[in-house]
Structure 1
Amino acid sequence: MILDPLQLVNPNLNCSRTIRLDFFRETDLPEYPLFFIETADHAILDPRQSCSVESALRNSGRNPIILMSSPILKPADSNATCQLLRYGVKFFKYNFVDFVKGTPLENLVYEELERNKDVITHASDMMRQVSVYKYGGMYLDLDFVILRDLTGIRNSVTMTNMAREYESVKNNSEFCDPKGPSEKGHIQNAFVALDKGHQLPWKIMENLVKTYNGDKNRAATGPLLLTHSIEELYHISSKELRGFKNENLTILPTFKFFTTGANRVGTIFNTRKERSSVEWDEFFSCSYAVHFYSYNTKKLKVSRNPKTDTYSYLAPKHCPISYLSQKQF
């Protein structure tokens, strides 16, 4: 689905009323869906989350499916959420216990998850593995801006490097170099695209159940678990991750989805140095999407200056409705 002002699906939707969400069913899915999952029990998407979905509608060639932990939507509280509904975006309620049935996670005691201070993050980490295993398709975190068509990507994950930053990439001219010096690190789980029944998410879920006790931090369920599971499943070392490809998995280079590392996102978010549109476009020239690591940036203000702030440069192009939906993006 491509977002177009002339293609409103529900133009007369009354956004002043609260909407009770239907429970998710497999029959609701398009072919090779693009999953976004909200696990914080919020009744809206905030503007940056809406930007992820809107940019996916505009650019990805996939149909987004939004799975919500909240049983209701309150579009009156978010113009961006209201507009997504008018453009036909599908929101569904999920039940965690029902969703994980038929996977290794059904043996997980849900009370342990509820007691965990990291319950929102851990539930999200678990849900993404279940969704791509049981239904196939693609998962993205709600803090991306999608720049390009994603329909050619299947059975893929992506490298990340915590220290990758704008200046070093530019100085080394490695914008699109899969063998550049910053192409090292681990696998990031903010993006994954796998066919239904793929063995990788099953392996991840098996490993998670073996070690999860409800008291651990993100390492119990996140990127490092994914990385170790790949190494174990495909009998490779950490040094062999970069450029790995076989008949059912491709590890994409960092710049495809993670142009900067989590520890260096400040080199593109509200920077002090002005950059031209040519410089921004060069930096993202080989990227399918840009990740903004909301756990590091959610409290940072967007400057609305496209010369110093990546969001201010990308959002008017790729998610203008969300960007203009309220004063503070």
Structure 2
Amino acid sequence: MGTILEGFSSQLNYDNQNTLVHISDIMRVVLLYKFGGFYLDFDTIVRTDLRKIKNSIGLEGYAKPTNDCKLAMDQFDDLISNGVMQFEAGNPFLQLYLEEVKQIYRPNLGWFHIGPVGMRRAANRLLKRDPNDAAHNYTSPTLTILPSFVFTFMQRWKAATNFFDTNNDAEVWEEYMRCGLVLHLTGWESKQMDVTGDPRKDIYSYVGPTMCPLAFTHLKSF
């Protein structure tokens, strides 16, 4: 790897069902640390030009957009999503994350300990945040933590109630996406939801014809 995790693979336990998740969480950071760039989960739909995003990552969870598209203090969720992020090579936040992984990794950890929990621990160190202090700091010269509605519209339990099996008109969908740079529906439950082809029934059917028309046209083939 050429990082602090050189030789780390010897600690991996392939009997743990979460190990592949851990590897994915770690390797995306290693690649960004070494080369820089943008990481997006495969199911992310990009809605706009992302070149203005630098050294940024988003909060976990779900919150409706604020009027000014900025973070409201009562929306804070202390877990940090690693599904969409941009960093320059050698970013110190990523270095701290790799240090945290080396320190906390155990072969039988849950799926989220290396991802969102590890990101939170690294951010707390970089920003010198007290996790028990309500007045959190969200920015530094090398890290900006964005509201969840910028990168992630949904987390697990919000799948059915907000974005599938609905009867929403265009104004409702546009309000959900007003501050979002990407459309990223996280959580395994989303794969159980139907893409109906009716733009009122689910958000993928609303955005599909314009954002990913080829994939949407061939929907029945998958």
Compute the TM-score of the two structures, normalised by the length of structure 2.
0.88
**1:304 equivalent in structure 2:** 197
Separation of aligned partners in 1, 2:162 and 2:2: 42
1:253 deviates by 1.5
Other structure's SS at 1:327 match = helix
1:172-197 Cα deviation digits (max 9, x unpaired): x6583521643444211111111001
**2:19 equivalent in structure 1:** 119
Other structure's SS at 1:120 match = helix
Would you say the 8 A contact 2:43–2:184 is kept in 1?
yes
1:129 deviates by 0.6
Segments of 5+ residues of structure 2 without an aligned counterpart are: none
Would you say the 8 A contact 2:26–2:114 is kept in 1?
yes
Would you say the 8 A contact 1:184–1:242 is kept in 2?
no
Other structure's SS at 1:157 match = strand
How many equivalent pairs are there? 221
Q: Which amino acid aligns with 2:43?
A: D
Q: Does 1:198 align with 2:91?
A: yes
Q: Does 1:129 align with 2:22?
A: no
- Give the greater-gyration-radius structure (CA): 1
Seen in structure 2, the aligned counterparts of structure 1 residues 111 and 181 have a Cα distance that, compared at 3 Å, is closer
Seen in structure 2, the aligned counterparts of structure 1 residues 298 and 209 have a Cα distance that, compared at 3 Å, is same
1:203-236 Cα deviation digits (max 9, x unpaired): 1111112222221111331101101111022211
Q: Does 1:250 align with 2:147?
A: no
Would you say the 8 A contact 2:16–2:108 is kept in 1?
yes
1:317 deviates by 1.2
Other structure's SS at 1:304 match = coil
Seen in structure 2, the aligned counterparts of structure 1 residues 242 and 145 have a Cα distance that, compared at 3 Å, is farther
Other structure's SS at 1:104 match = coil
Compute the TM-score of the two structures, normalised by the length of structure 1.
0.61
Other structure's SS at 2:220 match = coil
Would you say the 8 A contact 2:48–2:181 is kept in 1?
yes
Would you say the 8 A contact 2:71–2:147 is kept in 1?
yes
Other structure's SS at 1:158 match = strand
Separation of aligned partners in 2, 1:214 and 1:287: 36
1:248-307 Cα deviation digits (max 9, x unpaired): 1111122111223333132333233x1111221122111101211152212322122110
Would you say the 8 A contact 1:157–1:188 is kept in 2?
yes
1:131-181 Cα deviation digits (max 9, x unpaired): 1100001111112221111010011111122xx36xxx38xx658352164
Q: Which has the higher contact order (CA 8 A, sep 6+)?
A: 2
**1:232 equivalent in structure 2:** 125
Separation of aligned partners in 1, 2:203 and 2:76: 22
Q: Does 1:138 align with 2:38?
A: yes
Would you say the 8 A contact 2:152–2:186 is kept in 1?
no
1:243 deviates by 6.0
Other structure's SS at 1:271 match = coil
Would you say the 8 A contact 1:316–1:323 is kept in 2?
yes
**1:189 equivalent in structure 2:** 82
Amino-acid identity (%): 26
TM alignment of 1:1-329, pairs within 5 A:
101-110=1-10, 112-161=12-61, 164=62, 169=64, 176-179=69-72, 181-238=74-131, 239=133, 244-272=138-166, 274-327=167-220
